[in-house]
Chain A
Amino acid sequence: GAGVSQSPSNKVTEKGKDVELRCDPISGHTALYWYRQSLGQGLEFLIYFQGNSAPDKSGLPSDRFSAERTGGSVSTLTIQRTQQEDSAVYLCASSPGHTKMRAGANVLTFGAGSRLTVL
């Protein structure tokens, strides 16, 4: 597609339920990122996928959070047993992800985000 697509755009769930958030990156982009943005705050890194390499999961806040990327394209972020503090906007981004690129040179294209509200 022309841009990064995320779904759902809004999700309201009850505490304790599981949720899945989907990200469809720009075609051909090998790098995919998930960030979390709480109200009025900056972006908190969650996880990063680059091609067939093992993902960088260093930002996942707990084992309730997991993500996968199937076929090097679409990614799903899963939050199990949601808590109220999980309420936030979850942003997905992709980039061309050239492997020889120096750190900080990868330009990210973001989706509009999935707003999660846990009641």
Chain B
Amino acid sequence: SQQGEEDPQALSIQEGENATMNCSYKTSINNLQWYRQNSGRGLVHLILIRSNEREKHSGRLRVTLDTSKKSSSLLITASRAADTASYFCATGAGAGSYQLTFGKGTKLSVIP
């Protein structure tokens, strides 16, 4: 079963706007990661946030984590056409396992 679920499933915005994607998960986590997948390619790691962190920044990316609500959000500011991709959150499967479980992703389209 999938641990993380992203929403919305699809998001279309104009270039320059901000894009926000959300991820909800079911069980307690130590870390949560976000990945990007361009069409026809593998996934690329974007950012990792630990359970004791509430917010983390990397360039135009901002990730928040609310462990009480079991949710995370990824904000992309001042979006560009090149940000068009699918975005996935990933969490560990549990103690003693190094399996990473991915959600179904949010497909972001940035219109020039």
Q: Show the binding face of A for B, using Cβ within 8 Å.
A: 4, 31, 33, 35, 41-43, 45, 48, 50, 56, 58-59, 91, 93, 97, 101-113
A43 to B97, CA, bound (A): 17
| Contact-residue bracket for chain B | 20 to 34
Chain A residues whose CB sits within 8 angstroms of the CB of B90 once the complex forms: 104
| A110 engages B98 (CB within 8 Å) | no
Chain A residues whose CB sits within 8 angstroms of the CB of B104 once the complex forms: 41-42
Which of B33, B40, B93 meets A107, CB within 8 Å?
A: B33
Binds A, one of B11-19, B41-49, B53-61, B74-82: B41-49
| A105 engages B42 (CB within 8 Å) | no
| A93 engages B42 (CB within 8 Å) | yes
Check A103/B88 contact, CB under 8 A, given A56-B97, A91-B43, A108-B100.
no
A104 to B30, CA, bound (A): 6
A111 to B98, CA, bound (A): 19
Minimal beta-carbon separation of B6 from chain A (angstroms): 8
A102 to B29, CA, bound (A): 10
Chain A residues whose CB sits within 8 angstroms of the CB of B91 once the complex forms: 104
A97 to B91, CA, bound (A): 15
Residue of B nearest to A41 (CB): B104
Check A105/B43 contact, CB under 8 A, given A42-B88, A97-B98.
no
A9 to B42, CA, bound (A): 11
